Amino acid sequence: MTFDADHLAPVTLGTTVLGKRESANPELADALLASPFPQIDTSNVYAAGQSEKLLGDAIGRAGGLPAGKTVFSKVDQHPETGRFDGDRVLRSFEETLERLRLDRLPLLHLHDPYTITFAEAMAPGGAVEALTRLRDEGAVDAIGIAAGTRELVERYVSSDAFDAVLTHNRYTLVDRSAERILQLAAERDMAVFNAAPFGGGILAGSQTRGATYGYRPASPELLAFIERLHTTAADLGVDLTAAALQFSLREPRIHSTVVGIYSLERLQDLPRLTETQITEEFWSAVGELGTPPPSPND
C-alpha cells in the first residue's frame, strides 16, 4: 500500500455537522485548524458541501493549511441524481479541492456507494477506476472505502483496490460487528479509521430512554446492555464517555478513531477524554458483561 498507517494520529476530528449550526461554524472551523489534533475528516456531501467550504474558508484565514495539519475527504454521489460513476468521482473531487482551497489530498474515500452495485463501482469507467487514476496521477496519496453497511464494506476491502477503510458505529463498547472488517484490513495492511465510537451519542450521555444507536432506534436489549455499562462505570468511578473513546483507541488494528466535533465544548473536552485513565478493572468488568446484543445497523 502507499499510505503509512502507522504514522496516523490516533484521533481524527470528524466534521459531519460542520455547516449545520450556523452561529458557531466559522469559529468552530478555525478551532479545528488550531487544535492539537492534526487530522480532520470531511466529505463532499457533509452539510451539502458546507463542511468543506467552512474548512476551506478557515484555511484561507490561516494563510494556508497550517504545518502539520492534514485534511482527508470523500467523493460522493451526485446529490440530485444519485449518479456515482467515474466522471462523478472526478467532479466530486474537483468540488472538494475548490471548497478546501487545496490542490491535492493525502487520502480520498469512496463514500457510501449505495446508489450503485459493487460490480458497477468496480467496472471500467466506474468509481473505483477513477479513484485509482487519481492515486496513480499523484492527485491523492491513497484511496479508501468509507461506508456503513458491514457486508458491503467487507466486499470492497476484499477487492484489494483500497489503501484504507473507514467504518462507523460498528466497533464500540456495545457493538463488535466490524470485527471481520478489521481482520480483513489487517491482512491487507490497510489503514483503518473507526468513526462514531460513541454510537451516535448514546455512549456519551446519561440518558438512554428512546435513544438511537447509530442512525436507528436502539433495541430494548441494547438499551438494557448500555444501562449495565453505565452502572458498571459508575460503580468503578469511570467516565463512560472516555471509556467509549478509549475502547477504540486501545484496539491495535485501528489506526485512527474519528470523533465527530459538533461544538467548541466537545473539541475542548477531547484531550481530557483521550487522557483519562481507564482501569483494567473496568475493562475486565466490561468483558464480564458478555457479548453485546446484535446491532440494529445491519
pLDDT of 2 > 80? The answer is: no
pLDDT class of 1 with cuts at 50, 70, 90: very low
Lowest mean pLDDT among 99-113, 152-166, 188-202, 212-226: 212-226
pLDDT of 210 > 80? The answer is: no
User: DSSP states of 193-210 as a string?
Assistant: EEE-TTGGGTTSSS--TT
Distance separating alpha carbons of residues 205 and 208, to the nearest angstrom: 8
pLDDT digits (tens, 9 = 90+) for 246-258: 999 999 999 999 9
pTM of the model: 0.96
What is the DSSP code (8-state) at residue 175? B
Single-letter amino acid code for the residue at 85: D
pLDDT digits (tens, 9 = 90+) for 59-80: 999 999 999 999 999 999 999 9
pLDDT digits (tens, 9 = 90+) for 114-169: 999 999 999 999 999 999 999 999 999 999 999 999 999 999 999 999 999 999 99
Report the share of the chain in percent with pLDDT over 70: 96
Is 192 strand, coil or helix? strand
- Residue partners of 53: CB distance under 8 A and separation at least 6: 19, 99
Distance separating alpha carbons of residues 135 and 142, to the nearest angstrom: 6
Question: Tell me, what's the pLDDT at 174?
Answer: 95
Kindly report the CATH number that applies to the domain delimited by 5-288. Answer: 3.20.20.100
Distances, alpha carbon 259 to alpha carbons 48, 88, 100, 147, 225, in Å: 20, 28, 20, 16, 23
Q: Is 220 exposed, middle or buried, given 0-12, 13-18 or 19+ CB atoms closer than 10 A? A: exposed
| Domain boundaries defined on the chain | 5-288
Question: Tell me, what's the pLDDT at 140?
Answer: 99
Question: Tell me, what's the pLDDT at 120?
Answer: 99
Distance separating alpha carbons of residues 192 and 167, to the nearest angstrom: 8
